[in-house]
Structure 1
Amino acid sequence: MRENSMVKKVFSSKEVGILIPWILICVITSIANPAFISFNNVINLLRSVSITLIGSIGVTFVLISGQLDLSVGSIMGLAGLVTGMFLDKYQAPVWLAILAGLFAAALVGLFNSVIITKFKIPALIVTLGSMYIGRGIINVISKGVPFGSFPENFKQLGQGTFLGVPYSVYIAFLIMAVGAFALKYTVYGRSTMAIGGNMETARVSGIHIGRIVTLTYVISAVCAGIAGILTASRLSSAQANAGTGWEMTIVSAVVIGGTSMYGGSGSIVGTLIGVAIMETLTVAMTMLRVDAYWQKVVVGAIIIIAVGIDTYRRSKAASDKG
């Protein structure tokens, strides 16, 4: 009886519900084009998923807290560019260059949180503004010219493998494990859920809203920074256009993964599946020779459907309680 209850619980979970479409995409694409399941394609897909997953984990915390972050694409590009500049222009040690990139990312996250919490300006406006500010700073620093004179040990970070699996995959799953643990078992994770569920109730309960939101935005920025540094390493080049449009991919993946746009619910495992769906769908449509313009239409439709499902679930839950 207990086993039946556990099986029922597993199959009724949100994660299983979004895992099925991903499996269908994989099966259909494999039948239509067997090259989809070739070793090289699977490795490339894993590498793409790992980079997007790292950025998505930070945004998962932001959305769960009831906030929004549209600056992650610019932060990704800025962190990669600062790291590349330190390596190429100043010949800095790899560890120092990486720290400089992450520090630049964290500063943007801190800026976002201070403006949102202290001046009560909506997150949509603040992060949209910092997205453009970040992109402007990137262009001022680079003048449109990429940095690419990197030492070999830095290149290995994004290009190297262990047992045939890219290092970025191991890094992503380590961050994912830490994120999942923090969300479920720490005071910070529970506070983030509480703030997203009902900010006023969380405040009355003694949760320091400003502190939690600040930490959340810094975490999101650092995650985007790590993704940007790995991308620069993988391409052996820190480019001014890196991360352009990436914020929409990230937010879409997190929402598809079951995290509510309204805050208060979500999971890291769901985000992993959402990222897998987005990246697999992109590869699948490319391999099936779907026109690039139609690919954007498909992704946009999926975003609307995902948000629609989330809205329906919330309204249904509210009516059930009433």
Structure 2
Amino acid sequence: MSATTDLTEPAASAADPTAAATDRRRIDLGRFRELSLIPAILVLMLIGFIVSPAFLTADNLIGVLQQSTELSLLVLATALILISGRMDLSLESTIGVAPVIAVWLVLPASGARFTGLGLFPEWMAVPLCLLAGAAIGAFNGFLILKLRLNGFIVTLGALTMLRGLQLAISEGQSIVELPPSFAYLGKTAWLGVPAAIWICVVLFAVGASALAWLRHGRALYAIGGNAEAARTAGIRVDRIVWIVLIIGSLLAAFAGILYTGHYGSISATQGSGWIFQVFAATVIGGVSLNGGKGSVFGALTGVLTLQLVVNVMTLAGVPPLWNQFLNGAIIIVALIISRFASGEKQE
């Protein structure tokens, strides 16, 4: 049930007890949908233990979570954007180009394999990376909301343009000279657990709380369900969607910081092809491509499911070349299940 329905729910419930009972059943189904992947995760963990006793070791499970962190931030961004009824394909380029821009601005112009501009001190690398992400989201929002261009085409064009910018700045090579702040966030551990995992837990908790308790967060469901009805109800649709697009790009840029620090370099193709995994995780997590439905927790279970599948396949000796096929198959199966479970047409 979308937030658009919530706006008129008290009156409808008082006038028609049957409608109120139907609404309660829908709420219960929505909560069940958030938990629908939990049994699958448990089954995957059982299969993983059968395939290899090393699966349930602390090192392996922490490794799975560590490898999920960057992808999970993109999934969080995509979930928020999809719930609002929009789509952003450029996130997979933002995770690569934002760190490249930041490093380019802070590294000295000489004395290193990669020559930068040296315009800012190295401690500014993280803020500059986040600023680059925010600028990308703001630019996409301007084209989509002010010029009224098709969001899919705009973000597809931005994906290509930003990928080209990343290649041009990096000159097609990997950048290994990184600011200390990047390395710290990507490699340090807090209480024996990688800092990136703690950061992702906090960000997902903030996202879930915003959607559940904040007025603007709850308005995303109304906007995604019916933007015109939300606008009639007094919701400032364009402003909220614009903010969501900026937040999405910020999360993608921050994912780029974590990924860069974790692996100790920025690849010239960093983030390439990630959008398929992102949509696979988001869709199987119960977020509707039509907008107005889904949850942050469901999206998180989608990420964990995908990563556990990959981990189990790796331990079983299955070639990683099958991963992309599996991601596509999971999306199709999730759409089929969603179609018959909801009774709605997927257009």
Does TM, scored on the shorter chain, surpass 0.5?
A: yes
Q: Which residue of 1 aligns with 2:189?
A: 161
Q: Which amino acid aligns with 1:218?
A: I
- Give distance in 1, aligned partners of 2:103 and 2:77: 23
Q: Which amino acid aligns with 2:271?
A: G
The alpha carbon displacement at 1:317 in A equals 9.8
> For residues 186-222 of structure 1, what are the alpha-carbon distances to aligned partners after superposition, in whole Å with 9 as ceiling and x for unaligned?
1211211101011111111111221111111101100
- Give distance in 1, aligned partners of 2:89 and 2:47: 33
- Give distance in 1, aligned partners of 2:206 and 2:31: 25
With normalisation by structure 1, the TM-score equals 0.91
Q: Which residue of 2 aligns with 1:131?
A: 159
Query: Residues 300, 154 of structure 1: CA spacing in aligned structure 2 closer, same or farther, 3 A cutoff?
Result: closer
Q: Which residue of 2 aligns with 1:50?
A: 69
Query: Residues 125, 166 of structure 1: CA spacing in aligned structure 2 closer, same or farther, 3 A cutoff?
Result: same
Aligned residues: 312
The structure where helix makes up a greater share of residues is 1
Contact 1:282 1:295 in 2 (8 A): yes
Secondary structure (helix, strand or coil) at the match of 1:17 reads coil
- Give distance in 2, aligned partners of 1:67 and 1:61: 9
Contact 1:11 1:17 in 2 (8 A): no
Q: Which residue of 2 aligns with 1:312?
A: 340
Q: Which residue of 2 aligns with 1:23?
A: 42
Contact 1:64 1:196 in 2 (8 A): yes
Computing the radius of gyration from Cα coordinates, the structure with the larger value is: 2
User: How do 1:1-322 and structure 2 match up within 5 A?
Assistant: 13-88=32-107, 89=116, 90=118, 92-315=120-343
Query: Residues 143, 317 of structure 1: CA spacing in aligned structure 2 closer, same or farther, 3 A cutoff?
Result: closer
Secondary structure (helix, strand or coil) at the match of 2:37 reads helix
Query: Residues 315, 9 of structure 1: CA spacing in aligned structure 2 closer, same or farther, 3 A cutoff?
Result: closer
With normalisation by structure 2, the TM-score equals 0.84
- Give distance in 2, aligned partners of 1:73 and 1:284: 25
- Give distance in 2, aligned partners of 1:298 and 1:175: 28
State, as a whole percentage, how many aligned pairs show the same letter.
34
Gaps of 5+ in 2: 1-23, 108-115
Gaps of 5+ in 1: none
- Give distance in 2, aligned partners of 1:292 and 1:244: 16
- Give distance in 2, aligned partners of 1:36 and 1:215: 40
The alpha carbon displacement at 1:296 in A equals 2.2
Q: Which amino acid aligns with 2:143?
A: I
> For residues 295-318 of structure 1, what are the alpha-carbon distances to aligned partners after superposition, in whole Å with 9 as ceiling and x for unaligned?
322221110111222233443599
- Give distance in 2, aligned partners of 1:192 and 1:12: 18
Query: Which range moved further: 286-295 or 213-222?
Result: 286-295
The alpha carbon displacement at 1:84 in A equals 2.8
- Give distance in 1, aligned partners of 2:246 and 2:154: 14
Contact 1:261 1:307 in 2 (8 A): no
- Give distance in 2, aligned partners of 1:293 and 1:235: 21
Secondary structure (helix, strand or coil) at the match of 1:155 reads helix
Query: Which range moved further: 115-124 or 306-315?
Result: 306-315
Q: Which amino acid aligns with 1:35?
A: A
Contact 2:47 2:312 in 1 (8 A): no
Please give the root-mean-square deviation of Cα atoms over the aligned residues, in Å: 2.2
Query: Residues 25, 218 of structure 1: CA spacing in aligned structure 2 closer, same or farther, 3 A cutoff?
Result: same
> For residues 207-264 of structure 1, what are the alpha-carbon distances to aligned partners after superposition, in whole Å with 9 as ceiling and x for unaligned?
1221111111101100000000111111111222111111221121111111111111
Query: Residues 153, 133 of structure 1: CA spacing in aligned structure 2 closer, same or farther, 3 A cutoff?
Result: closer
Q: Which amino acid aligns with 1:308?
A: I
- Give distance in 2, aligned partners of 1:256 and 1:183: 19
- Give distance in 2, aligned partners of 1:258 and 1:183: 15
Q: Which amino acid aligns with 1:159?
A: K
The alpha carbon displacement at 1:9 in A equals 5.3
Q: Which amino acid aligns with 1:61?
A: L
- Give distance in 1, aligned partners of 2:46 and 2:232: 50
Query: Residues 162, 262 of structure 1: CA spacing in aligned structure 2 closer, same or farther, 3 A cutoff?
Result: same
The alpha carbon displacement at 1:92 in A equals 4.4
